[in-house]
Amino acid sequence: MKVFISSDMEGTAGVVDWAQCLLGEPEYGYYRTLLQGEVNAAIEGAQAAGADEFLVNDSHSRMQNLRPDTLAGHARYLSGSHKPMYMMEGLDSSFDAIFFVSYHGSMSTSAPLSHTYNPRAIAEVSLNGTVVGESGINSLVAIAYGVPVVLVTGDDVTAAEATRVNPGVFTAVVKKAVSRFAADSMHPAQACELIRAKAEAAVGALADARPPAIALPATMSVTFRNPDLAEMAAWITGVRRSGNTSADIVDEDPLRLFRKFVSVVLLTRGIAE
């Protein structure tokens, strides 16, 4: 049984500040060990339920935050910042389940360190009228390959947001949001115990897992932080400007829709303040 794990970092218990999760900052080294513990806990829980093959796609910042030699389950490690499929690189139809570990909420929520792919450019994203974060956007790739998202770990706001797109998904809430820069976190050991238990339960219930609830063709509406970003996004074929600071992408192919969104993110990054 194969499990695909996309790991971020902002959702780790204890993380509430950018300085804790960016390479080069004094506290980064410590907090990356907490992330490693949560990723390993997810793997160990899945192993207990029968999973025996893992791919971890390091999806945070420069995407080189984990230590390959200490990954549990002899997991393969996909790292590096240039990935055409971004946080979902490496997923294909051979996988049985998807975990989103240490995820955060969308820019418009009060989740700690909330943002949607690029906080300097994107104010909000919705799919068919439902505001989504990275868990919802990335679920488009899950639909494309027919692999269910069965576990999301992070704060309580992020967990609630994820269930709107993935009803029935198991969530491990390791901290409660106070604001974008404050949270009430579980002790790291207890956070790992919870993630381990939820991962085991999620894989154990795989037969009942449902695909993401995104009707196709889907409309993705992106609100940008200024009009210039919306104008630049509309340069991409299939992206239509819908307002002063907004643009829509409509497509019946979830993978093509996701790729267009990633293209928008990469293109607008150049002029984001």
Structure tokens at 132: 């989504």
- Options 60, 82, 115, 187, the catalytic residue: 115
DSSP state of 49: T
Q: Is 41 exposed, middle or buried (0-12, 13-18, 19+ CB in 10 A)?
A: buried
CA distance 81 to 17: 21
CA distance 209 to 223: 32
CA distance 168 to 162: 10
115 is catalytic: yes
Q: What does each C-alpha distance from 94 to 3, 33, 77, 145, 220 come to in angstroms?
A: 9, 30, 17, 9, 27
Radius of gyration for the alpha carbons in the chain, expressed in angstroms and rounded: 17
Tell me how many degrees the CA angle 1-62-255 measures, rounded to the nearest 5. 50
| DSSP secondary structure letters along 52-69 | -EEEEEE-STTS--S-GG
Residues annotated as catalytic are: 115
